[in-house]
Amino acid sequence: MDPVIGHTEILRELAALAAAAEPPHALLFAGPESTGRTVLARRYAMLLNCEALHPPAPAGAPLFGDEPPAPGSAPGAGPCGVCRPCRLILEGAHPDVITVGPGDALCRPRDGESHPAHPDSADIRICQVRGITELCARFPFEARYRVIIIDPADRLALYAAPALLKTLEEPPGHTIFCLITAAPERVLETILSRCRRIDVRPVGRPAIEAGLIDRGIEPQLAADAAAASRGRPGRAIAFAAQPDLMGDRGRILERCAKVAASGVPARFQYAADLASRWRSDSAAVRFELDCWESFWEARLRSASVDSPDDARGALAALRAIAALREHLNANVQVRPAFDLMLLSFPRVTLEHSPEEELPAHA
């Protein structure tokens, strides 16, 4: 079963890049969360290291002989998925395919430096980039190419990004970098210029539905999950695995409608609730922001030609949500940021009274 849903053109591009005599040393996978960016990066690692595509040298072969290497699969072919490198990469257990994100991964303090652990760090720190640099100085344990996945690349801290730039400027031939980000505008421009950019866009609903059915998901559940995912295969897989999440989404959409129909005091109350929950469960709040985008997108689609104000209001709301995401990534004070977003939303009219009390967060 192919772990990638959709992205046919990107898969072709990755296969061509991996088959080149000198594959690009750094790729930037840019796109919304849950669209398959990390899955594509791991697919690239498989393409680079699959033994069916790149057969290992036979035992006893001379290091500098004139014999040509054994032919692999045809250019553009996919990884076999069954050889040792493919299996380890699919299981997330390959010693040469490493993911570095905020936390302690590859942390290397300076000699004699007092350096407390930072498993809950919000950023990728310079000590981790130091670990990346030290790792790059050594040959891979067993792979043709070591693949270092930096996720999310927009969380490289102030001094970490310039430190990584030095390694990207003089890349080791045996290491490939895959940078993952939903906010490429927040990645250092000099880093962007050294990466081949792959734009990962949302996937069409039919492709997601077919991918879920291929995974053994019942057709009706697959259709519901694909419809609720907003083009994000990762989100659709989560919905199919936990259908209750779609019920949560429905309840949040109902709350969105009531908040959009309410006045300023209720909106401030809701903003305070979001800000409080952001500190303890930012993932749940991001999911709620996705629901808000679905709410306003639906209103934008349903706006008639005779109601341009409705369309303009929905567009303004979507811009406010996008601005809030940027503010949250920039670590601004969260309460004013949520207040600003809620005040930017137009007021809508519902069939029932807009003054009814907002339900408490489930």
Q: How confident is the model at residue 38 (pLDDT cuts 50, 70, 90)?
A: very high
- Cα dihedral across residues 59, 61, 64, 70: positive or negative: negative
Q: Are 144 and 49 in contact (CB under 8 A)?
A: yes
Q: How confident is the model at residue 280 (pLDDT cuts 50, 70, 90)?
A: confident
Mean pLDDT over 210-216 rounds to 94
Read off the amino acid at residue 253: L
User: Looking at residue 360, what is its pLDDT?
Assistant: 42
The residue among 195, 114, 113 whose CA lies nearest residue 153 is 195
Question: How far apart, in whole angstroms, are the C-alpha atoms of residue 351 and residue 362?
Answer: 24
Question: How far apart, in whole angstroms, are the C-alpha atoms of residue 171 and residue 109?
Answer: 22
Count Cβ neighbours within 10 Å for each residue of 70-87 and write b for 16 or more, e otherwise: eeebeeeebbeeebebbe
Q: Which of 90-99, 110-119, 322-331 has the highest mean pLDDT?
A: 90-99
Share of the chain above pLDDT 70, in %: 90
Reported as a single tens digit per residue, the pLDDT across 191-212 is 999 999 999 999 999 999 999 9
Lowest mean pLDDT among 136-150, 213-227, 264-278, 326-340: 326-340
Between 181 and 356, the more confident residue is: 181
User: Looking at residue 351, what is its pLDDT?
Assistant: 56
Mean pLDDT over 321-335 rounds to 87
User: Looking at residue 75, what is its pLDDT?
Assistant: 55
pLDDT above 80 (res 132)? yes
Q: Are 320 and 345 in contact (CB under 8 A)?
A: yes
User: Looking at residue 74, what is its pLDDT?
Assistant: 53
Between 82 and 116, the more confident residue is: 82
User: Looking at residue 97, what is its pLDDT?
Assistant: 97
pLDDT above 50 (res 68)? no
pLDDT above 90 (res 49)? yes
User: Looking at residue 362, what is its pLDDT?
Assistant: 37
Beta carbons within 10 angstroms of residue 178's beta carbon: 25
Q: Is the peptide bond before 152 cis (omega within 30 degrees of 0)?
A: yes
Share of the chain above pLDDT 90, in %: 67
Q: How confident is the model at residue 181 (pLDDT cuts 50, 70, 90)?
A: very high
User: Looking at residue 172, what is its pLDDT?
Assistant: 85
User: Looking at residue 305, what is its pLDDT?
Assistant: 65
pLDDT above 90 (res 114)? no
User: Looking at residue 18, what is its pLDDT?
Assistant: 94
Mean pLDDT over 340-345 rounds to 96
User: Looking at residue 180, what is its pLDDT?
Assistant: 97
Chain centroid, CA 17 distance in Å:
21
Between 69 and 62, the more confident residue is: 62
Question: How far apart, in whole angstroms, are the C-alpha atoms of residue 105 and residue 99?
Answer: 8
pLDDT above 60 (res 327)? yes
User: Looking at residue 352, what is its pLDDT?
Assistant: 46
pLDDT above 60 (res 60)? no
- Chain mean pLDDT for the chain: 88
Reported as a single tens digit per residue, the pLDDT across 89-110 is 999 999 999 999 999 889 988 8
Half-sphere exposure of 110 (CA within 13 A, CB side): 4
User: Looking at residue 309, what is its pLDDT?
Assistant: 86
Predicted TM-score (pTM) of this structure: 0.83
